[in-house]
Structure 1
Amino acid sequence: MSDGTLNKAIKLMGFGDDTDFHGLRGLFSTICNEHTQEHGLSAEIIELCLAHADTNQIRNAYNHSERLSEKAKLMKWYNDYIDKIRGMR
């Protein structure tokens, strides 16, 4: 799925003038990196959730670990975080 498709979906939901898909990814990264003590996961897991490749080319070539349980834990934490701030309105 392309960024264009996701940006179109954001616009159809009524948020197109305020944000785009890349901005939402940046928001996710910023929030998760600011709250590492709360969720207890490393920046490496945050980067994996964003599908960023390891900058170490050798490690990137050999390590194909998906670390699904850690990514699921972070996504659950992020969902709960968003729900919590939505309730503050």
Structure 2
Amino acid sequence: MEVTGIFTAIIIGLIIGALGRLVVPGKQKISIWLTLLIGIVAALLGTLVAGVFGVADTRGIDWIELALQVGFAAIGVSIASGASGRR
């Protein structure tokens, strides 16, 4: 992976992670680094699932892929927030 690919993954991970945090109600007590990690993993999972369903490459904006990514990020944020709340 090239340096530009790493920076792109980080930026997309931040955006997807932030959208996932916005979807989950209430305040989440997780760090920005965990949000970034969750966003990157959610972006990869969403792209993988969209590819399996055959909706990863459509004309225009891939709304279904984006919805899958944000959904995975929301699930990840909920799990991480719940796990950090038990400490």
**TM, length-normalised to structure 2:** 0.33
Structure with the larger RCO, 1 or 2 (CA within 8 Å, 6+ apart): 2
Which is greater in Rg?
1
**TM, length-normalised to structure 1:** 0.32
